[in-house]
Structure 1
Amino acid sequence: MSFLNKNYKFVSQENFDGFLKAVGVPEDRIEKLMKFAPDQKLTKDGDIYTYYTVTSDGPQEIKFKSGVEIDELLGSSKVPVKSTYVVEGNTMTQTVKSAEKGVGVFKREYNGDDLIVTLTLDKWDGVAKRFYKAE
């Protein structure tokens, strides 16, 4: 797990606007969210992982055990969701369940200094990707 404790910076994205439209983000907010580029970091202490994101709004952290569902407030609008994070090998998969938005999957694949986040949604046949590089 050489990716633990590394800070990953946003590099580029593909079809993120399609994902935002699929989850029902209003058109007037999509342009702002297309610029959403948080740094990301994952740490581990015992069997507790901490997933950090740093945005212009400041740092946020989520603590979880792999495979255990948690309550989470997602996004700037703080939508209540149920999330399950599973860490296996070099991959962290987050499954997000929302009564309003459906089920989304954020698959984070760490490969050396690269991080690829693949975003899918059960109500959308598209795929979005976001790319990061370790500092």
Structure 2
Amino acid sequence: MVLHCVAAMVKRVLISLYGNDVAPRFDLATEVLIAAVGEDGKVVEEKILVLPQASAEKLCHMVLTEDVQAVICGAIEEEYHQYLTWKRVQVFDSVIGSAEAVLNRFRRGMLKPGDILFEREVKGDR
């Protein structure tokens, strides 16, 4: 029973990747980052999985088999968004930025669908 309570405090998130950034389209992602975030906001587990081919159906299946509670992605077809929501998975779509920046905002509880996170380059004084 204690193990069940500890597991309930961890939230698993899947980020569709394109390199080090959030993939622009969920259905074309061939890499994902799955992270487990504790109640204190610390990442307790992190892994990157490479898929043999891009498939929204296989990504949805992975979300369910990996016990993921939240998905962070760029564009996602309405059909998959509704399916994941129906399965009680929180979907943060239309997110742009590096996986690291997005995960940091998620673990602080500040990520919202549509967030654009990128660092601006400052070029000297104007």
User: Given the two structures, how large is their TM-score scaled by the length of structure 2?
Assistant: 0.36
- Structure whose alpha-carbon radius of gyration is higher: 2
User: Given the two structures, how large is their TM-score scaled by the length of structure 1?
Assistant: 0.34
- Which structure features the higher share of strand residues? 1
Highest relative contact order (Cα 8 Å, sep 6+), 1 or 2?
Answer: 1
- Which structure features the higher share of helix residues? 2
